[in-house]
Structure 1
Amino acid sequence: MFSPKTTLLGLKADHFRHPLDLEATQAIKQLPGIDLMVRNLLGPVAEQFFYLENIAASVLVGEKQLPEFHKMLLEACEVLDMEAPQLYVRQHPIPNAYTFAMRGKQPFIVVHTSLLELLSPPEIQAVIAHELGHLKCDHGVFLTIANIIVLAASQLPSWGAVLAQGLQQQMLQWLRCAEFTCDRAALLATQDPRVVSSLLMKLAGGSPTLASQLNLDAFLAQARAYDDISNNELGQMLKEAQTMNLTHPVPVLRAREIDRWASSKEYQGLLKGETMRYSNKADSKGGWRNW
């Protein structure tokens, strides 16, 4: 379907995890009892509820149902060295995709029809691979926590909302950091940074009628201009205020991050297998890693 890609045998989440994701995940894990509560109490109910809801109201992709998307999924899973989850297509006017996985029993990905209509086939595969990144990194538990806390903050009385606000900000920070990691998974699966950046450009300002007129190089220049705003204290403060309540980093920032990582020795080493060979050898000798 696409040009041949390097299969990343032995790929582990920490081989490509963004440093900000690692830092934010460690902070979340220090919150007492939350992981246990979601896995053992909320997890079984949520898992069953969302599985039934999706299988009832979406189309399950397979060899005989939307087979082109099924092939994209299998190829991305092969490259990322992971088992394939279920993939659903859901009728929805808002371009979006999301992942659900609580205890590893029935992970699945959902992609909205409006997003499929906006993107080219390689960009669709990048979306699928981004969602696979959540599964590869075991983000499912914390994604559920974040959704619950964000919902609770809007429903609780004022005193409860104040208590939840701190947790909400911490979870939103983690969500934004996790997205950087999953963009890296999209790059590893497509092995073309322009595909991932083009996807982000269309999420920022695309539509089926405008897609062919968009200029990726101009968008990347726009991303660099966004960077320049941070050169002074006021610009940095405005950026932080703009993003603190968002679940995703702004698209230009994500494009800049993926453009930088595509040029890094870390990324090139993964494609050559050097990083994985080194870290696996190190693990067998004492568990340390250096990359």
Structure 2
Amino acid sequence: MDNVDDKSILTGLRANHFRHPLDLQATESLKQLPGLGLAIRTLLRPTVEHFFYLENIATSVLVGPDQLPDIYSLLVEACQILDIEQPQLYIKQHPIPNAYTFAMRGKQPFIVVHTALIELINAKELQSVIGHELGHLKCDHGVYLTLANLIALAASQLPLGPVLAQNLQSQIMEWVRCAEFTCDRAALLVSQDSRTVASVLMKLTGGSATLSPQLNLDAFLAQAQAYEDLSHDQLGLFLKQMRTQDLTHPVPVLRAKEVTQWHSTQDYQKLLQTRSINYNVEATGGWRNW
């Protein structure tokens, strides 16, 4: 980690500077949904919050200046770039590549990254993952995210009636998928390289510690365009909607296409120009596995 790379911190950055239009639309629709307030009060009780916190602190490693300091530096830099208060970051031993965020009312939020994901990606990509999770915090997604994780298990027990409960679950899943587009933009603002973000999505789609060095990002982006082309006829559009309606995340090829397109827009370039000041951060591209 000897080289120096130029990045920009984004002073005065606000969520709506980079929020995806679909996220805005889905959030407004969700706020108007009958039963949302009751679901939040029913599912997100202090005991639930404490359970998640205790489970996490008991079974994960808290990253800090004296614990996995290289990863900690990625967190510090990402928070500086996004102009956000630093959350806790935990590393959890887990065979499934994943990362997630949990925000509790009145408590410091935290991010969890699974070891399987760290083994799959390099340091720049890991920082973009951290940036994605910070995007959830920057946009105040915490309550809805936690609700989305619980609603599928508890919907049948809510006193809302089966039709309304199903509608609530469907709307929350729709919101989560739209919110992911916003957080991919946060990942891009941190990495300031769309290929880094797209590479993470490619590796999550079909990578492994063995296969990842052989993957071709340009071929994956071409695959993303082929997926988009399926929307040109009614059958393809219908099948895509059926395939994604119950997912918590948009399909990876679509996410890669979205973030790559946003990188080339004037909105993104203008945001960097008007909000940024340059500073040097250590390049971490050669640091692959821990």
TM > 0.5: yes
Aligned to 1:134: 136
1:152 aligns to 2:139 (yes or no): no
- In the alignment, structure 2 segments of 5+ residues that lack a partner are 277-290
- Contact 2:11–2:275 (8 Å) recurs in 1: no
SS in structure 2 of the partner of residue 249 of structure 1:
coil
AA aligned opposite 1:76: A
Cα separation, 2, equivalents of 1:13 and 1:196:
19
Task: Please name the residue that 1:267 is paired with.
Answer: 268
Q: Distance in 2 between matches of 1:235 and 1:38?
A: 36
CA gap of 1:103–1:96, structure 2 versus 1, over 3 A, is same
Q: Give the aligned residue type for 1:196.
A: V
Query: What is the CA-CA distance between 1:250 and the residue it aligns to?
Result: 0.2
| Correspondences of 1:44-63 after superposition (within 5 Å) | 44-63=46-65
Contact 1:99 1:131 in 2 (8 A): yes
Report the RMSD for the aligned CA atoms in angstroms: 2.0
Counterpart residue type for residue 260 of structure 1: Q
Q: How many residues align?
A: 273
Name the aligned partner's letter for residue 207 of structure 2.
G
Cross-structure match for 2:117: 115
Taking the aligned partners of 1:164 and 1:261, their CA distance within structure 2 comes to 35
Paired with 2:157 and 2:49, the residues of 1 have a C-alpha distance of 24
Post-superposition Cα deviations, 1:167-216, rounded to whole Å, max 9, x if no partner, equal: 11111100100000000000000100000000000011000000000000
The corresponding residue for 1:193 is 194
Return the offset for 1:160.
5.3
Q: Secondary structure at the match of 2:44?
A: helix
1:102 match: secondary structure: coil
Q: Is the 8 A contact 1:39 1:141 kept in 2?
A: no
For residues 67 and 42 of structure 2, what CA distance do their matches in structure 1 show?
34
Q: Structure 1 37/168 Cα, relative in aligned 2: closer, same or farther at 3 Å?
A: closer
- Asked if structure 1 preserves the Cα contact closer than 8 Å seen for 2:43 and 2:147, the reply is no
User: Which has the bigger relative contact order, CA under 8 A and spacing at least 6?
Assistant: 2
Cα distance in 2 between the residues matched to 1:214 and 1:41: 42
How far apart, CA to CA, are the structure 2 residues paired with 1:95 and 1:35?
A: 32
Alignment of 1:1-291 (within 5 A): 3-32=5-34, 34-35=36-37, 38=40, 42-153=44-155, 156=157, 161-273=162-274
Query: Per-residue deviation at 1:86?
Result: 0.1
Which has the larger share of helix? Answer: 1
Pair 1:43–1:133, CA change in 2 (3 A): farther
Mapped partners of 1:239, 1:83: distance in 2: 38
Letter in 2 for 1:53: E
Q: Deviations over 1:75-122 (max 9, x none)?
A: 000000011100000000111100000325220000000000000110
CA distance in 1, matches of 2:37, 2:165: 17
Letter of the 2:28 counterpart: Q
How much identity, in percent, do the aligned residues show?
A: 65
Q: Equivalents in 2 of 1:263, 1:104: separation in Å?
A: 38
For the residue of structure 2 that corresponds to 1:230, the secondary structure is helix
SS at match of 2:147: helix
The structure that is strand-richer by fraction is 2
Secondary structure (helix, strand or coil) at the match of 2:29 reads helix
Q: Which residue of 2 aligns with 1:287?
A: none
The structural deviation recorded for 1:256 is 0.4
| Contact persistence 1:133–1:185 (CA under 8 A) | yes
* 3-state SS of 1:261 partner: helix
Please give the alpha-carbon distance, in whole angstroms, between the structure 1 residues aligned to 2:275 and 2:64.
34
Q: Amino acid of the residue matched to residue 172 of structure 1?
A: M
Listed as ranges, the gaps of 5+ residues in structure 1 are 276-291
Offset, 1:69? 0.8
Checking the alignment, whether the CA contact within 8 Å between 1:89 and 1:111 is kept in structure 2 is yes
C-alpha deviation, 1:44, in angstroms: 2.4
Closer/same/farther in 2, CA of residues 41 and 250 from structure 1, 3 Å limit: closer
